Structure 1
Amino acid sequence: MDYSDTTIILPVKNEPYAKEVLGEVISSLPHSKIIIAYSGNVNDLKKYGSKKPNVIFLKQNGNGKGNACIYAFKSIRTKFVGLIDTDGTYDVKDLRKAINLIRKGGDMIIGRRIASEHGAMPSYIKFGNWVITQTANLIYGMHLKDSQTGLRVIKVSSLKTLNLYEQGFGIESEINIKMHKKGYVTKEIPISYHKRKGGHSNQLKLLDGLKLLAIDFKFMSKDK
């Protein structure tokens, strides 16, 4: 199948498994455009990715996942954009499934994580995600089950109407809320979730969770 209608953004900050994720995207989503928005050392990834067609490297103009995504969004010229974390916790086949679904309708497809391995998501992360998700649902009238997922596909024409500015992990919450406030259709699909592969863990800690919870309240006014 041809995926030339989709750009895949891979945010990278020293993830040692990023090369494998890039390889899976190339093989599973032929002809897709791929943007690697990075900070840190990606020399080995560049040696591999620079030889591949349709792969672009963009060095972030700041720090944080949100900064990487917002910067990469400016370069998109395709109908859809897909986002997937590069730590090996997600399956690219689920991203492909989301792309195929959004082609049939809707503005955003997000993956609802179901752990495929014991301990893939620590209990405190699971609980924090539930609190953040349910708080946003209560405030904005949404019906999400996994608001902080790192796998999603968005219709670019809808995305470009959002004024995004969150620089860190709060980008997921900002996109969810602003898509909902615009009246766009978001659908969730069950996806696999695995233990992080290699290197140190970037999984959120208590302070990060509290910051994300605060973001739920940030967009309550109409002009946000």
Structure 2
Amino acid sequence: MSDSDDVCVLLPTMDEVETVARVVEAFRDAGLDEILVIDGGSSDGTQEAAREAGARVVEQSGRGKGQAVREAVRDHIDAPYVVMADADATYDADDVDAMLEPLLSGEADHVIGNRFADMRPGAMTRLNQIGNRIINLAFRLIHGERYRDILSGYRAFTRESFLRLHLTADGFGIETEMAVECVKNRQSVAVVPVTYRERPGGSATNLHPVRDGGVIFIELYRKAKTNNPLFYFGSLGALSTSAGAVMTGYVLYRWFVYGATHEIIAIGAVGAALLGIQLLIFGFLADMILSLHREQAARYERAIDDGSD
């Protein structure tokens, strides 16, 4: 590992007094002294426990994990390398060397810890496992990369690469947004197997599977607008065209079988079909523009590299 002064461990917290001290101590035992706890205004003594364990504690100015991470990296961290983890003692601090190695070797700008590589019994409910698998599959389908565990809270990245990401999510959607932005900005990403354990008894999760899962799906789809416009507009176009086809079929069935006319539904069917076709065409055009933009950006980067040589 490089000098420990080059690495800052970032722990976003919210009412995690039961576990935060042991997490801070575990990372200190792993050789990392610069540990920043950014807290969302805990009322259970989380901040005091973190300070006593040796962490630097800052209370975030806003709310939500995403806002905390952005504020911490932008305003409170100077180290070139950042390790981000949850403060619930589900991750193993001993995996930190493996997480940092791709950064220190120059292999990657961003590292994701794959929890599914060594998930201990009870670490994740069956519902959450299914939801995670579906979200990772959707990410691969929409954004074309297989990161295996885009919802993992165990990350390592260079501060410079993080500041190049356009991040706006305030809550648990931050991990998904980071993964999408890495694809969009063509950052090199490494996936490292890590251990994932059950939360210790007495600690409560801040995650709400249904609500937060919905937010993550919306974030995935919203980001497709600029990263995969053919999927974004094409899916909307296909849905609208299908709705028009169904309405057309209904109108024709009623007319042939019963001789009944449905002018309003027929007008709606034509409108839906036309809208769907227009969205599909727009999706193809937007995809072509994006491809040309990426080609121009690649040429510009190569020209910059050739000039620097």
How many residue pairs were aligned?
A: 221
Tell me the SS of whatever aligns to 2:35: strand
Tell me the SS of whatever aligns to 1:154: strand
Tell me the SS of whatever aligns to 1:96: helix
* In 1, Cα distance between equivalents of 2:53 and 2:15: 20
Greater mean alpha carbon deviation, residues 202-211 or residues 170-179: 202-211
User: Of residues 189, 192, 195 in structure 1, which corresponds to 2:192?
Assistant: 189
Amino acid at match of 1:30: L
Moved over 3 A (4+): 42-45
Greater mean alpha carbon deviation, residues 94-103 or residues 180-189: 94-103
User: Of residues 217, 221, 224 in structure 2, which corresponds to 1:220?
Assistant: 224
Amino acid at match of 1:67: Q
Cross-structure match for 1:71:
71
**Higher relative contact order, structure no. (Cα contacts within 8 Å, ≥ 6 residues apart):** 1
Q: More strand per residue: 1 or 2?
A: 1
Tell me the SS of whatever aligns to 1:66: helix
Q: More helix per residue: 1 or 2?
A: 2
Percent of aligned pairs with the same residue? 26
Task: Tell me if 1:130 matches 2:133.
Answer: yes
* In 1, Cα distance between equivalents of 2:37 and 2:53: 14
Q: Which has the larger radius of gyration?
A: 2
Tell me the SS of whatever aligns to 2:225: coil
* In 1, Cα distance between equivalents of 2:4 and 2:90: 22
Show CA shifts across 1:84-109 (max 9, x none). Answer: 00111100111232013321121111
In the alignment, structure 2 segments of 5+ residues that lack a partner are: 228-309
Tell me the SS of whatever aligns to 1:222: helix
Cross-structure match for 2:258:
none
Equivalent residues in 2 for 1:1-224 (5 A)? 2-15=3-16, 16-31=18-33, 33-39=34-40, 40-41=42-43, 43=45, 45-46=47-48, 49=51, 52=54, 55-74=55-74, 75-105=76-106, 106-114=108-116, 115-197=118-200, 198-222=202-226
* TM-score for both structures, normalised by structure 2: 0.67
* In 1, Cα distance between equivalents of 2:32 and 2:121: 32
Relative distance call for 1:46 and 1:124 in structure 2 (3 A) is same
Aligned residues: CA RMSD: 2.0
TM superposition shift of 1:42: 5.8
Amino acid at match of 2:59: K
* In 1, Cα distance between equivalents of 2:166 and 2:154: 20
Relative distance call for 1:51 and 1:124 in structure 2 (3 A) is closer
Amino acid at match of 1:209: G
